[in-house]
Amino acid sequence: MRYPILFLIFIALDLAYDLILRILQASRRGEPLPETVRDIYDADGYARWLDYSAEKRKLGAAEKIFDAAVLTACFGTRVFSAVYERLPGGDAVKSLLLLLIWTAVTTVLSVPFDWVREKRVEAKYGFSRTETSTFVRDEITGFVVNALLNAALYLAVAWTWGRFGLRGFFIVFLILAAFVIAFSMLATVFQRLYNKLEPLPEGTLRDTLAELFRKAGYELENIYVMDASRRTTKVNAFCSGLGRFKRIVLYDNLVNGYSEDEIAAVFAHELGHYRRRDTMKNTAFTVLLMAVVTAAAAWFASTPEMSLAYGFEGVSPVFGVILLQSVLLTPVMTLCMIPRSAMARRFEYRADAAAAESGYGEALISALKKLSRDNFSDLNPHPAVVALEYDHPTTADRIRAIRASQAIRERESGGISGGTA
């Protein structure tokens, strides 16, 4: 089997998949919005959203085509072995240098697209507040973090392969699983590389949120506010961490721009994730994905023809790491993320229902509409794109589900009252 041809097919299929989804999204332009969300954008706002989404779609397509061209040039030739042979030092040093060069190249090539996205498109429509110094610092931080993680992954693979052979990939899996769990537990620690997290100040809002926590049977350790407004006007909140490391984080844009009831509704939604241990379930799913990654790495290690086809003298762990990250994982992750996204959408419906049960149904609907408007959300995405890519239901579907659950509770409440009169 000619492995370079196989990998080029993977690259082409990934590109085709991405472009098809973008075409499906573009085909919805001009379609009437669902009735439940028609009041979110006025005529001018919707026209701006159409322009914004078109610019983002074109930029994303251009970046994807460019990335595919770079990967085709690299994995259609023996450029990696040619560079490797010219590097100084022994195999370990040369491998780390090759990995560092690849990480640097991919980072540098992505910077122009990141710049246009952040400083042109997002800024043009009033979302981005990222200063140039912050942008540069974020890019450097991202490069350093990626380089360190890639180096750690390479060293783990190289050491276990050299010491234990194929049996060592079980250790690789344990290392990857431990990293995923540690990252989930300490997510807010990593978040501090980019943002400041401050405790929510004392006051009626904090008292309301703390009371929600107590009613759910939990002792509140802290609620954090993230200084997202330094970078964007968009709004969000999220639940991260595991066990006693779990945190609920609110964007400062949310705290400063929404009513207390709307913030409480969003908090009650996140609390719904907390109570159902959704973060833990997502982490477990990611650990399963790491098993797939480990299996792919073991396949590469047991197939020396892959390295030989690209000019290496034997199995090259560093080339395996580069190939795995850049080419092999894409189709695998695309397939795996379809059920993962479906599971995540169910979690969102359930968290919405939890907020409604806490008495914040209408406040949550109000917050969802404001979130959609503030974040310039797509209110009428293609159903196929939702099924394949979305980890949140559409705003219209979420509102319909909340209203349906409210209607059911009202009927049940009326039935109970009628029976006891």
Question: What is the predicted pLDDT for the residue at 329?
Answer: 85
Percent of the chain past pLDDT 90, that is, above it, reads 45
Q: What is the pTM of this model?
A: 0.85
Determine the pLDDT at residue 77: 93
Please give the angle made by the CA atoms of 29, 48 and 348, to the nearest 5 degrees.
70
Residue 402: its pLDDT value, please? 94
What pLDDT is attached to residue 176?
84
- Give one DSSP letter per residue of 172-199, joined into a string: HHHHHHHHHHHHHHTHHHHHTTT--EEE
Give the per-residue pLDDT at 157. Answer: 79
* Predicted pLDDT at 416: 47
The pLDDT of residue 200: 87
Q: What is the pLDDT of residue 419?
A: 36
In which order are the strands placed within the sheet that holds 197-199? 197-199, 223-226, 247-251, 237-240
Domain edges within the chain: 3-194+277-409
Q: What pLDDT score was predicted for residue 25?
A: 94
Q: What pLDDT, on the 0 to 100 scale, is given for residue 31?
A: 84
- pLDDT at 9 (0 to 100): 94
DSSP-assigned letter for residue 314 = S
Query: Looking at residue 312, what DSSP letter applies?
Result: -
pLDDT at 417: 40
Q: What percent of the chain has pLDDT over 70?
A: 93
Cα distances from 205 to residues 254, 259, 267, in angstroms, run 12, 9, 11
- The per-residue pLDDT for 398 is 96
Which stretches of the chain score pLDDT less than 50? 416-421
Model pLDDT, residue 69? 97
DSSP 8-class letter at 25: H
